[in-house]
Amino acid sequence: MEERIGKRINIERIDEALGTNPDTVSTACPYCLVMLGDAIAAKKASGEAPESLEIVDVALLLARSVQPAAAAAPLPGDGSPPAAPPVG
C-alpha cells in the first residue's frame, strides 16, 4: 500500500537532480529508470524541466562515451534504427 503523505520520492530525486542543471540523468537500476522517467515526464509536462532532459541506463551512457562520434552506429535500445551492414 502506497502512502499519500508528503512528496513522492521520484519527484524528490528529480528535483535534486534539476538543481545541477543536467542534460542527462543516469541510473543502473531498471526500477529507478522507470520511476525517474515518470518524474522527468511530469516535470517536462509542467514546464519545470527542459524537453532535452533524458534518463538513460548507465551502460548506455558508458557506451556513448567510448563510441567515436564520427563513426557512431546506433546502439540497441536508443530508439534509433539499426545501421545497415557493410557491403562488399
What confidence tens digit (pLDDT) does each residue in 7-63 have? 888 999 999 999 999 999 999 999 999 999 999 999 999 999 999 999 999 999 999
pTM equals: 0.67
Contact 33, 57 (CB under 8 A): yes
Higher pLDDT, 54 or 5: 54
| 40 within a domain of the structure (yes/no) | yes
| 30 within a domain of the structure (yes/no) | yes
| 87 within a domain of the structure (yes/no) | no
| 20 within a domain of the structure (yes/no) | yes
pLDDT digits (tens, 9 = 90+) for 49-84: 999 999 999 999 999 889 776 555 566 665 555 555
| 1 within a domain of the structure (yes/no) | no
The count of structural domains within the chain is 1
| 85 within a domain of the structure (yes/no) | no
Phi first, then psi, for residue 57 (nearest 5°) are: -70, 145
**Containing structural domain, residue 24:** 9-64
